[in-house]
Structures are given as structure tokens and as C-alpha cells.
Amino acid sequence: MKFICGGIRPMEKSELTNGKKLPAKLNKMGPALNTETVVLNVILRHPENVESLVDPLEYSYNDMRQKRLTHNDLYKKYGAHSDDIQKVENFAKEFNLLILDISREKRTVKLAGSVEHINKAFDVDLFHHEVDGKRYRHFDKEISIPKNLKDAVEGITGLSNTPVLKPFYHYNISHKVHSMAEENINQADMSLTPEKFAKYYNFPTNYEGSGQTIGVIEFGGGFSKDILDSYFKKLGMETPEIIDVGVGGKRNNFGESSADGEVMLDVEIIGTLAPKAKQIVYFADNSDSGFYDAVSAAVHDTVNKPSIISISWGVTEAYYNSTNLLIWDKLFTEAANLGITIFAASGDNGASDNTDSIEVIFPASHPKVIGCGGTMSELEDSHLLEIVWNNDPKLSATGGGVSNLFPIPPYQGNIEIPLNSEQNKGRGVPDVSGNASPGYQIYVSDENFQLTGGTSAVAPLWAALFARFNEQHGDRLGFVNPMLYELKMRGFNDITIGENGYYNATTGWDASTGLGTPNGTELYLAIKDYITNGGAIFQEKDPAIHHDEL
């Protein structure tokens, strides 16, 4: 098996990949109408006449911090070259495509054209198919482009508008739904509010994320300010600053779909655990193009400049092949160079992602993202007891495992990564974990609250924790993956009991819960010592203090 770190391998016929495999049971509805308008993005390379952008996997944490760039630095040196932009403009003119936008900073040219012209321009056959009773557009041929564009273009998104992403949140359907109007809710129901997890995970006190901005990525649904006001008032808190940003025409549309639950879970957990941090919620379409556009919008947001990004959505790695990941690798590399920390949920359907094979979830599986797995938690005498979250190995359990796309990154070189189902070793997922069993009290509508969880709760929990860390440190910590593994488990509660349907928890890192859940204050002190001493002091450090376990 051949692993990649993400990347297009241009073919002799100057082809690009479609990037994703559709489900086997594809319900084709016939060719797309020639008059239908298609909007797509052409992603360009970094200029070829400059040194390569620093790859965070090739440097130590402290060296990477020294090489950090501002947005202006990044765009001045690594923005798209005018010659490459001109090639795309000429291509668009030749095939009667309209140029909607050019972003040198994002290295993106947005084009629009009829299905007829798109089919000719990229040598594809766009067709309609049905998913859950709705009609979408896709194609099943490789994308071809003129040879003079081959070197300049790294990827194309937007030819398909098929939904590809799943939100990773769960409701506890056995839990009693309470009215927000009830003033005397049983205290047991209030015992696992997000702020209580800040106590159990020993979050640093006297820090609330002041001066930090967290980007939250969403693909449907929305949030209601009125409901958020009621929720935070119930907790005796002020409503934090939460701003919605539309990407590609998508907006905050509360009441649109069940995805409201995902959005409200994300913003309420962050708002409770880092109440002084500003949240920028990027809403985009659930498609390959919307996925990339949303994360790119957050990374390249020169107005809000998020220092942390939380992603509670993902897609099984099997939906990608080996050639359309370069655009993602470059985007995550840019984020690391800008000092942005990215957290992503590892999935809620166990080691198989509810498929017939053993799979991991992207983007949590990317080595430049921190994958977030889940535990089951129970209170006993004010202590949090934790094992691997696994209520059902396919329907309600933490994702985790070994990547089939990405090799073992250098920072995981000294841990024992098991063989995956294909008898290969690759990037291990997740990196960290937190409570994912439905135990967070969340308001979703104006009528009730519900106990909610999933690894969707873990990514924003860690995002909020790092907002406190950044405030305490006085600077963004940035790409911390290598450092986390060099702390010798200091600052982590090691989870050693349970499994996710394929991978067992063990002492130290494992493919169910990663390094473990946070002992926040201890973890920050470990990070501070590491930065101050260049990591040398951790050669003989004792393991982290473990949680009690079920």
C-alpha cells in the first residue's frame, strides 16, 4: 500500500481527480441539464519561484514558532502568482466560463458556467443523482485540464454538490426533556453542564479566553441569539460574542435542519468554557467545495484572525483517494505557519464509521490537525471516572484507528501504533480525547434542553481549553501536535479501559482515546516548561496522574 501526505499526482493526460467516492448504491437520475449553472473553485499552487512554505512536520515545535508568519507575510510571499492567474483567465475565456472572483491570498479563482461548458472545459459528464430523496450533481470521470494548466492548478472543487460531511453529535434519547421555563430542575440534571467539565478537567482558573478568537466550522443549521441568551442566563453568565459569517452564499439559518443541534452544541460548549473568547461561526454548503471553502475562510480571515479552529464534522477517509488532498495539506500547512491550532472530531460510529470496513475520519486523520476522540464519564464522589466511549460499536462510539491515507508522522514515531485492518501502520487517530457520552446540558430549541454529546463536543472543549492556554501564555500556541507527544503524558489523564469496536485502550497513546483527556492546569504547566526549556526536561518526566477508572 502506498501512503501519501496529501497531494495531486498529475497524470499524463493532465487529469485531476474527482476526490471522492460516492456510496456504492448510487441512484442516478440522468444527465445534468445543459443550462444548469455550476460554480467551482480552481485552487492554484504556491509560486514556484520562492522557497517552499515551512512544513510543520519537519521542524521542532520551538523552531516552528520562530518561523511563524503573519497573514501579510504569507500573502506577500506565497500568494498565487499573476502568471498562474492569467492562465486560468485564458482558460475561462476559451471555454466561455465567467470569472466570479480572484483571490491571490487564498490562491483561488472562482468560475461559473453552464453544465454544457463545464463538461467541455473539464472533459466530464455531470449527472444528477438522488440522496435521501433530494437531487444532487456529481460525476464519475477524472477531471482533465489543458497541459499548460497542469503545473499551476493543484485542485478543483465544486463540480459535485453532493453532501459528504456528517456532524458528530448525539442526543441521550432516554433523558427527560425539560422546559427552559422550569426553575427547579433536579440538580442531577445540572451536574454535567459544560462548565462542570472545566472543573473536572482542571481547566486553568482566572482565564476565560480573553483576546482569543475561535473559528467554528458548520455545514447547515444555525444558532438563535434568543435561545443562547436564555441558556447562558440559566447558567448565570453573559452571552459571549458569537458572529456568523456566510461562505459561498450559505448563512446562519436556525430552524433549517437538525444541524441546529450541532451548531448549538459547539457554540454553547465554547461559550461556557471560554466565555470571553469571540466565536466566528463559518457557515458553508455541505459539499466538497463548501468544506474546503469554510476552512479556507477561517484560515485566511484577516479581519477576525482566529487563533483556533474547531471542526465537529467529517467524512470517512474512504471517500478520498490519493490525489485531491494536496489542497488540504497546503491549507493546513498555511494554518500552522500562521500559528492556528485546529481541532477536529474523530467520529461517533466506532472504528468502522458504521461501514463494512475499519475506517478513520478526515480531517481528524490529517497529521496537521488534532484529532479528538471520546470517553464515557461518570461522577463518583465529585470525581470523574472515564473509559472509552462505546454505547454501541457502530452507532454510538468514539472514532479512532489507523489512517490508510497518511503515513505515521514524525511526532508519532515513538509510540506503538497497531496495524489497521489492512495490516498497515499509518497516522494514528485520535490525538486527544474528552467526554463524548451524551452528558452535556444543551439548549437547542426554545422549548427544551437535552443531554447531548458525541466527539462533536470534544473538539470545541479542547478549542476552549486552548483559548485559555493562549490567553495565559500571551500568544497563540499554534501547531502543537509534536509537542503534545513529547510531554511524556504529563498533563493527560490516561484512559486504559474499553475499546471502540476494534482498537483497545492501553497505557499511553491508543487508537481509541489518543493520549487521553486533559488535566488542564498540569498540561499548561507542561507546555510552558517545554517552550522554556526546549523539551529537554521531558526526557525523564514521570507519566501524568491518571483518572480513576470504571
Check if the beta carbon of residue 204 is closer than 8 Å to that of residue 521. Answer: yes
Q: Is the pTM of this model over 0.75?
A: yes
Is residue 425 a contact partner of residue 387, using CB atoms and an 8 Å limit?
Answer: no
536 domain residue, yes or no: yes
What residue type is 465 in one-letter code? Answer: L
Domain span including residue 414: 166-171+192-472+482-540
Q: Say which of 266, 268, 329, 471 is annotated catalytic.
A: 266
Residue 456 domain-assigned (yes or no): yes
d(CA 19, CA 22): 10
Q: Does 36 map to a domain?
A: no
Catalytic entry in 456, 471, 486, 522: 456
Say what the pLDDT of residue 7 is. Answer: 30
- pLDDT at position 189 is 42
377 assigned to active site = no
Instruction: Say if 24 falls within a structural domain.
Output: no
Q: What is the pLDDT of residue 446?
A: 64
- Omega before residue 363 within 30° of 0, cis: yes
332 inside domain: yes
CB 505 within 8 Å of CB 401: no
Q: Which of the residues 154, 218, 262, 329 is marked catalytic? A: 262
Q: What is the pLDDT, as a whole number, of residue 26?
A: 64
Domain assignment present for 37: no
Reading phi first (left if > 0) and then psi (alpha if -120 to 50, else beta), residue 167 is in beta
Catalytic, 82? Answer no
CA angle 162, 349, 489 (to 5 degrees): 120
Predicted pLDDT of residue 439: 79
pLDDT mean values, one per 10 residues, the chain (550 residues): 33 40 66 93 92 92 92 96 96 97 96 96 93 87 86 92 90 45 39 80 95 97 93 92 95 89 95 97 95 97 98 91 80 97 96 88 97 89 86 90 95 93 90 92 76 94 98 97 96 96 96 97 96 69 41
Q: Domain of 271: which CATH number?
A: 3.40.50.200
- 377 neighbors 330 (Cβ within 8 angstroms): no
Tell me, yes or no, whether 361 lies in a domain: yes
At 201, phi and psi to the nearest 5? -95, 10
Contact call for residues 496 and 488 (beta carbons, < 8 A): no
Cell of 262: 450541532
Whether 422 is a known active-site residue: answer: no
Q: Name the domain count of the chain.
A: 1
State residue 9's pLDDT score.
31
Whether residue 32 lies inside any domain: the answer is: no
Beta bridge partners of 101: 110
Give the separation between CA 435 and CA 379, rounded to whole angstroms. Answer: 12
R_g (Cα) of the chain, nearest Å? 23
